[in-house]
Amino acid sequence: MPITVSLSVNGRPVTKEVEGRTLLVQLLREHLGLTGTHVGCDTSQCGACVVHVDGKSVKSCTMLAAQAQGASVTTIEGLAAPDGTLHPMQAAFREHHGLQCGFCTPGMVMSAVDLLQHNPSPSETEVREWLEGNICRCTGYHNIVKAVLSCAETMKSGAKAPAAAAE
């Protein structure tokens, strides 16, 4: 039986009719065309589907779209500014080669942004622990950790996230 879900996605109001069993990741990818959020495992093990729901990182393959009713959802597409200026975390991943195939990158970036919201000065160990729920099969995590630590330093020195990323 179809249900109507209303929420904000990347700062824009959205209302969609979906089946009750529709996952948030399906709403984002299949109904809204936001394919930056990836589906990697369908079992919440890989973290490729991480988005922010009301400012907190969530594996969108574990949440029904109906559970996001009234919520504010930010996807990887919503991090950059409207003019295309990258979020400092996105820029750090690019600068420090924190990606190879790119499949895990959106989930890694979203999780890392959430980490810095909770802990603006994490240690290497804290970064590695925070990203435990995100699997990368290419990089070995070294450059991802470097990117997160670099972004933390950049943000501390005064760089601000684009307005589109504010939650």
pLDDT at 43 > cutoff 90? no
Which runs of E-coded beta strand occur in the chain? 2-9, 12-19, 50-53, 56-59, 72-74
Neighbours of 154 (CB within 10 A): 16
pLDDT of residue 86: 95
- pLDDT confidence bin for 1, thresholds 50/70/90: confident
In this structure, CATH architecture of domain 2-78: Roll (3.10)
- Domain range annotation of the chain: 2-78, 88-158
pLDDT at 26 over 70: yes
- Neighbour-count burial of 2, counting CB atoms closer than 10 A to its CB (0-12 exposed, 13-18 middle, 19+ buried): exposed
CATH architecture of 88-158: Orthogonal Bundle (1.10)
pLDDT class for 140, splitting at 50, 70, 90? confident
pLDDT over threshold 50, residue 167? no
For residue 123, pLDDT over 90 is answered with: yes
**What distance in Å separates the CA atoms of residue 158 and residue 72, rounded to the nearest whole number?**
26
**pTM exceeds 0.75 for this model:** yes
- Determine the pLDDT at residue 10: 97
Q: Average pLDDT, stretch 39-65?
A: 93
Q: Which residues contact 14 (CB under 8 A, 6 or more apart)?
A: 5, 6, 7, 8, 32
CA distance 81 to 164: 5
Summarised one tens digit per residue, pLDDT across range 62-102 is 999 999 999 999 999 999 999 999 999 999 999 999 988 88
What pLDDT shows up at residue 143?
Answer: 94
Residue 104 half-sphere exposure toward CB, CA atoms < 13 A: 24
